[in-house]
Amino acid sequence: MTTKLIVLITGANKGIGLATARAMARAGHTVLLGARDPGRGTAAAASLAEQGLDVRFVRLDVTDPATIAAAAELVDADYGRLDVLVNNAVTTRDGSRPPGEMPVDDLRAVYETNVFGVVAVTNAMLPLLRRSPSGYVGNVSSGLGTFAFLSDPDAEFARFATLLGYNSSKAALNAVTLIYANALRDSGIRVNALSPGFCATDLNGHTGVLSADEGGAHIARQLAEDATGVFLNENGGTYPW
């Protein structure tokens, strides 16, 4: 990616999102750091801007249509296009509960962020992505949402196979990714699922084996891939769906 890109990342005030923002800004791109909390988002963007990086906070709650519309209007007014959208915002409410004990309201809340939020933001940003010479939508996913993992009792992380909310929402996100990739293939907009690897973040109680910075570096590298409609592996190549 030698051209300076306009990059919007959701859920970017901490963890993998913030690490991705840092990596993309260090590569010379303009990064719009999306976050729902103005205080945290402003502080995160300021910390990167103090390093001489071109980073700007954009208030964006993926479950709030008003902030999504306002973010799209801001990008339109100030930049006129969007080159890269990274749908990174994520939540989970599984805890240690078995699937039979998870309230439907909790499951619905997970889907609001991990699935419906991705669709809402993507749809709002599509007109701006169409103005890019090479638009890219990267949906941060997880191998835990692949049927290859869920159907393998001997998988490396099989102990996580019963996470109803997180895993099923990532499986749905993978399907959403393929549907958009197929629909946008002729437009030149690439759409892929991205894997940062099993990173230590607030989401998993910092039990992952990679750092958030390593995950962000993986995502930044995957954003340079020419392929579309694939699930990119953090170690290179692709994951099976």
Please, what is the end-to-end C-alpha distance for the chain in angstroms?
27
**Residue 219 dihedral angles phi and psi, to the nearest 5°:** -60, -45
Helix axes 164-184, 104-111, angle to 10 degrees: 30
**Is 14 a known active-site residue?**
no
Output the CA torsion sign for 115, 121, 124, 126: negative
170 is catalytic: yes
How many other CB atoms are there within 10 angstroms of residue 30's CB atom?
18
- Catalytic one of 4, 79, 166, 180: 166
Residue from 136, 170, 180, 239 carrying the catalytic annotation: 170
DSSP secondary structure letter of residue 132: S
Closest CA to 111 of 183, 39, 168, 38: 168
Report the alpha-carbon distance of residue 12 to residue 32 in Å, rounded: 9
As annotated, the active-site residues are 166, 170
